[in-house]
Structure 1
Amino acid sequence: MENNRAKKMYDYHVWANQQVFQKLKQLPDGVYGDTIKSVFPSINEVLVHLYATDITWLEIMKGSTVQETFKKVEQRRKEVDGISLNELESSYDELAKDYDNFLNSQPDLERTIVTEHPKMGACEFVLADLIHHVVNHGTYHRGNVSAMLHQQGENGAPTDYVFYCLK
């Protein structure tokens, strides 16, 4: 499994999220939670969105129904509502373990799954493609965080894939 490209990409996603958390911990308290005029009202809300979306896709990959998935996401969102940056980081760490357990239990990440989409009906996805989607979505929103940090006079964390490869 270690040579699997999709798993490597997910490991990059975890590493990049960790870089963002490390950067945020170095900044003044208000930077993380203050409301700003941007794509999201705060950096906290970007990170909660990313967390919830990662849960959504893991549940879908596990075979949960859309209703089960939305219920679980709503529950986990409530659990992270208003928690500290360090606590949210711990929630991300736990989710990464859940992903690792799932990915390591899969004999074939190139297999196709069928899931129900609330607007598009039945959809077929290759598991590896969904993992790449999770990573791509994370990259997009880490870019939001970087832009929001720049709006507040701070620098973002370098999370380019090449930096992960060179670590």
Structure 2
Amino acid sequence: MTHQALTMYDYHVWANQTLFNRLLELQNDVYHQEVKSAFPSVSKVVSHMFIVDQLWFHIISGISMSDALEIEKVETDTKNIEEMTMMFSKLTGQYKGFLNEQEDLDKRLVLDTPWAGRRETSLAEMVMHLVTHGAYHRGNITAMLRQMGYASVTTDLTSYWYK
């Protein structure tokens, strides 16, 4: 039986791609357009999502959070949606390869964050954090698109179930 965290990661990938497909339909000027919101543009939200997904990949791969935070970040702010879609696709391949090699996603690990300290957690819980973080920011993007006068797309889990 597939672990629930793997199913939820697949949902995360599907939801991102569904939203990115909508952004690809719009012009890059919409993607980079400034708006008064939680982020100054959709591109800044997508950039943040990528950087966080990449950070957590380093962490689940065994790099300490402190060291992962020091890894040079790929420049994402100036990328267009086509380039970011490709970058997410490559990172998704890395995640899937790593997660599929794991024998026990529920094994307990110590997560040591600079701002909150040490906590025992599991790979599955870290994946769930990644999924919920993505859902939160896909909501930001949906609100921003509506604010700019554009429709978004549904990325609810139930939509994934019935795809």
Name the TM-score, length of structure 1 as normaliser.
0.93
The residue identity in structure 2 corresponding to 1:128 is A
Shift in Å at residue 81 of structure 1? 3.2
Match in the other structure for 1:88: 84
Post-superposition offset of 1:56: 1.4
Distance 1:136 1:98 in 2: 19
TM-score (norm 2): 0.95
Contact 2:66 2:114 in 1 (8 A): no
Higher helix residue share: 1
The yes-or-no answer on 1:39 pairing with 2:38 is: yes
Give ranges in structure 2 of 5+ residues lacking alignment: none
Distance across 1 between alignment mates of 2:152 and 2:77: 24
Work out whether 1:64 is the aligned partner of 2:63.
yes
Identity %: 38
- Find 1:118's aligned residue among 114, 118, 124: 114
Partner deviation per Cα, 1:79-109 (whole Å, 9 max, x = no partner): x231121011000001101110110111000
* Unmatched segments (≥5 aa) in structure 1: none
How many corresponding residue pairs? 163
Task: List aligned pairs for 1:45-60, cutoff 5 A.
Answer: 45-60=44-59
Residue 73 (structure 2) pairs with residue 75 (structure 1): yes
1:1-167 equivalence runs, <5 A: 3-72=2-71, 74-76=72-74, 78=75, 80-167=76-163
The aligned amino acid for 1:157 is V
1:60 deviates by 1.2
CA RMSD of aligned residues (A): 1.2
Classify the secondary structure of the residue corresponding to 2:47: helix
Shift of 1:130: 1.0
- Aligned-pair distance for 1:67? 3.3
- The secondary structure found in structure 2 opposite 1:135 is helix
Q: Any idea what SS the aligned residue of 2:155 has?
A: coil
Compute the displacement of 1:27 (Å): 1.4
Q: Distance in 2 between matches of 1:135 and 1:66?
A: 18
Distance in structure 1 (CA, Å) of the matches to 2:49 and 2:95: 14
